[in-house]
Amino acid sequence: MTDPAPAPVLKIRNLHKAYGALEVIKGVDLSAPPGHVLSLIGSSGSGKSTILRCANLLEDSQKGEILFCGEPVAWKGSGPSRQPADRAQMIRIRTNLSMVFQQFNLWAHMTILQNVMEAPLTVLKRDRTEVEAAARAYLDKVGIGDKCDAYPAQLSGGQQQRAAIARALCMEPRALLFDEPTSALDPELEQEVVRVIKSLAEEGRTMLVVTHDMKMAADISDHVIFLHQGLIEEEGPPDQLFGSPRSDRLRGFLSATAHT
């Protein structure tokens, strides 16, 4: 008898999110099995980043289920007043779904090493010696081990984003969530970050990636989701979505992005 497949690291069912009268997510389902990379693509305003922020509870959704490793998020209230019911659960889920933002969000007054160590020390209460060793190893991994004592302002944008990735990794999360990780970078610096993300995908890390970079999405993803106006218009393996899209909207989107 075969063992049952492990629960998805993240599973979302019928997610709805509105800002006042503006409905941004209109009923989205997705599943991120362990070791898989999901990329979310679509035009600006399609709801990609909002899904990530709802997934790790930075934003409250009004309806739908969010399950972390098979465990449903506990809610109180409903509709516009719905919010997580269990603060300890919310913190545990959030620390296990490390987010890498478009803007690097590094502490300007801390060195790069201190930035990477801060959350494991203060949130996870881990041993300082262990955290420092891990932080240095992750900074080596992303190619900026020589920048430990530098401050964010002394680094290029690409180096700062790689420091942000090291910071996310140092939390030892179950999944990494990337929200347009390269869109604030010049093309040359963008490739530094893309290389790091590709290497993480090759290691078999679970990742959800919101991106405008179709080549990266094609290269790293197990599954691609194309969003249009808060709904999934088309999804599937990257060779299908990019090679033979079925939807007119997806064809139009890919045609437009090919010329940007």
Over residues 222-241, mean pLDDT: 97
DSSP codes, 110-125? S-HHHHHHHHHHHTS-
Residue 258 has pLDDT above 80, yes or no: no
pLDDT value at position 4?
A: 72
Which domains does the chain possess?
Answer: 10-258 (3.40.50.300)
Note the Cα 82 to chain centre separation in Å: 23
- DSSP-derived 3-state class of residue 16: strand
Burial class of residue 181 in the structure, from the number of CB atoms within 10 Å of its CB (0-12 exposed, 13-18 middle, 19+ buried): buried
| Residue-wise pLDDT tens digits, 170-181 | 999 999 999 999
117: which 2 tokens? 């160590």
pTM over 0.75: yes
**Residue 218 CB burial class (10 angstroms; 0-12, 13-18, ≥19):** middle
What are residue 42's DSSP bridge partners?
A: 227
The letter for the amino acid at 161 is Q
**Averaged pLDDT for residues 35-46:** 95
